Chain A
Amino acid sequence: MNNSDSLRHPPIPAPHMLDTKPTVPYRVVHPEESEQRRTTHSGLPSVANPMLTATGLAKAYRKHQSSVPVLKGVDFSAERGKVTAIIGQSGSGKSTLLHLLGTLDRPDEGEIAFDGQRIDCLPSRQRDQFRNNQLGMIFQFYHLLPELTLLENVLAPAMIGNGILSYWRNRRQIVERAKHLIELVGLSHRMKHRPRELSGGEMQRTAIARALVTNPSLLLADEPTGNLDQETGRTILQLLRVLNREHGLTIVMVTHDESIAQQCDSIVRLKDGRVERLAAPILRTTSV
Chain B
Amino acid sequence: MYKLLLCLRYLRTRWIALASIVSVTLGVATLIVVNSVMDGFTTQMKDRMHGILSDIVLETRSNTGIAQPNWYEERIRNRLGDSVAGVTTVVTLPAMMTFQHNGNSHTQQINLIGIDQKTYASVSDFSKYLLHPENRDQLDFILKEGGYAPDRERMQPAGWEYRRPIARYRKLVNDRVRDGRTAEEEQAAEKSRYEALQQQIQREQLQSNTDSNTDVAENQSTNADSTDPSTPLEPSTQTDATPQTDSSVASLMAGPGIVIPNKAQQVNQFDPEKEQRTGIVLGISLGSIRGREPDGTVQDFFFLRPGDDVQVTFPNAGTPPRGIDETFTVVDFYESKMSEYDSTFAFVPIEKLQHSRGMIDPRSGIGAVTSIQIKLKPGVDLNTARDALRDEFPPTHEFVEVRSWQETQGPLLAAVQLETTILNILLFMIIAVAGFGILATFFMIVVEKTRDIGILKSLGATGTGIATIFLGYGVLLGTVGAGVGLLCGLLFVWKINDIARVVEWITGREVFDPTVYYFDTIPTIIHPFMLCWVTLGAILIAVLASVLPSIRAARMHPVEALRYE
Chain A residues in contact with chain B, CB under 8 A? Answer: 99, 102, 104-105, 124-125, 128-133, 135, 137, 139, 143-148, 152, 156-157, 159-164, 167-168, 210, 214
A160 and B559 in contact, given A143-B454, A145-B452 (Cβ under 8 angstroms): no
Q: Does B362 contact A (CB under 8 A)?
A: no
CB of A125 within 8 A of CB of B1, answer no
Q: Is B241 an interface residue (CB 8 A)?
A: no
Question: Are B1 and A143 interface neighbours, CB within 8 A?
Answer: no
For window 406-465 of chain B, which residues contact chain A by CB distance below 8 Å? 451-452, 454-463, 465
Residues of B within 8 A of A135 (CB): 460
Whether A163 and B458, one on each chain, are in contact in the complex, defined by CB atoms closer than 8 angstroms, is: no
Name 18 A/B residue pairs within 8 A (Cβ), A-sorted.
A105-B559, A128-B457, A128-B460, A128-B461, A128-B462, A132-B461, A133-B460, A137-B458, A143-B451, A145-B456, A148-B6, A156-B459, A157-B459, A159-B1, A160-B2, A161-B460, A210-B459, A214-B460
A148 to chain B, nearest CB (A): 7
* Given A164-B1, A164-B4, residue A147 in contact with residue B458 (CB < 8 A): no
User: Could you give, for residues 99-115 of chain B, a 1 whenever the CB lies within 8 Å of some chain A CB and a 0 otherwise?
Assistant: 00000000000000000
Min CB gap A192→B, angstroms:
14
Selected contact of B5 from candidates A128, A131, A148, CB within 8 Å: A148
Question: In the complex the two chains form, is B2's CB within 8 Å of A143's CB?
Answer: no
Contacts of B2 in A (CB 8 A): 156, 159-160
Q: How far is the CA of A127 from the CA of B260 in the complex (A)?
A: 121
Q: Please, how many angstroms separate the alpha-carbon atoms of A44 and B302 in the complex?
A: 114
Assembled-state Cα–Cα distance A4/B4 (Å):
27
A125 CA to B557 CA in the complex, in Å? 14
Contact status of A105 and B558, CB under 8 A, knowing A133-B460, A143-B451? yes
Which residues from A are CB-within-8-Å of B4?
164
Contact B460 A131 (CB under 8 A): yes
Give CA–CA (A169, B6) in the complex, Å.
20
B562 at the interface (CB under 8 A from A): yes
B456 and A147 contacting across the interface, CB-CB below 8 Å: no
B136 at the interface (CB under 8 A from A): no
Q: In the complex, what's the smallest C-beta–C-beta distance from A33 to chain B, in angstroms? A: 30
Report B18 CB to chain A, min CB distance, Å: 15
Q: Are A167 and B458 in contact (CB under 8 A)?
A: no
B61 cross-chain contacts in A, Cβ below 8 A:
none
Q: Which residues of B come within 8 Å of A, CB atoms?
A: 1-2, 4-6, 9-10, 13, 451-452, 454-463, 465, 557-559, 562
CB distance from A149 to the nearest CB of B (A): 10
Contact A162–B462 (Cβ < 8 Å): no
Nearest residue in A to B465 (C-beta to C-beta)?
A160
The number of inter-chain residue pairs (CB within 8 angstroms) is 74
User: Which A residues touch B460, using CB under 8 A?
Assistant: 128-133, 135, 157, 160-161, 214
A175: shortest Cβ distance to chain B, in Å? Answer: 12
- Chain A residue at minimum C-beta to C-beta distance from B4: A164
Cα–Cα distance between A210 and B458 once the two chains are bound (Å): 12
Distance to closest chain B CB from A79 (angstroms): 23
Inter-chain contact B1/A163, CB cutoff 8 Å: yes
Given contacts A131-B460, A148-B9, A159-B2, contact A104 B558 (CB under 8 A): yes
Chain B neighbourhood of A146, CB < 8 A: 452
CB contacts (< 8 Å) of A210 on chain B: these are 459
Known: A143-B562, A156-B2. A104 touches B458 (CB 8 A): yes
Contact B5 A159 (CB under 8 A): yes
Find out whether the CB atom of A167 lies under 8 angstroms from the CB atom of B463: no
In whole angstroms, how far apart are the Cα atoms of A59 and B13 in the complex? 39
| Cβ-defined contact, A160 with B461, below 8 A | yes
CB-based contact A131/B463 at 8 Å: no
**Neighbouring A residues of B465 by C-beta, 8 Å:** 160
Q: Are A143 and B455 in contact (CB under 8 A)?
A: yes
Q: Is the CB of A102 within 8 A of B1?
A: no
B452 contacts across to A, CB distance below 8 A: 145-147
Contacts of B457 in A (CB 8 A): 104, 128
Give A220's nearest chain B residue, CB to CB. B458
Q: Are A167 and B1 in contact (CB under 8 A)?
A: yes
Instruction: Give the chain A neighbours of B10 by CB distance below 8 A.
Output: 147
Structural contact, A160 and B456, CB atoms closer than 8 A: yes
Q: How far is the CA of A177 from the CA of B188 in the complex (A)?
A: 126
Q: How far is the CA of A164 from the CA of B309 in the complex (A)?
A: 84
List the 5 shortest-distance A-B pairs measured between CB atoms, nearest first. A132-B460, A159-B2, A147-B9, A131-B460, A159-B1
Contacts of A159 in B (CB 8 A): 1-2, 5
Smallest beta-carbon distance A177→chain B, Å: 15
Asked if B559 contacts A104 (CB within 8 A), the reply is: yes
Residue of A nearest to B2 (CB): A159
The answer to whether B562 and A131 have CB atoms under 8 Å apart is no
How far is it, in angstroms, between the C-alpha of A25 and the C-alpha of B255 when the chains are bound? 150
- Least distance between A207 CB and chain B CB atoms (Å): 10
CB <8 Å contact, B459 and A131:
yes
- In the complex, A217→B462 CA distance in Å? 21
B11 → A minimal CB distance (Å)? 10
Give min CB distance, A112 to chain B, whole Å.
Answer: 15
Query: Could you list 17 further interchain pairs (A-B, Cβ under 8 angstroms) beyond the known A104-B562, A125-B462?
Result: A104-B457, A104-B559, A128-B460, A128-B461, A131-B458, A131-B459, A132-B459, A133-B460, A145-B456, A147-B6, A147-B10, A147-B13, A148-B9, A157-B460, A161-B460, A162-B1, A163-B1
Least CB distance from A214 to B in Å reads 8
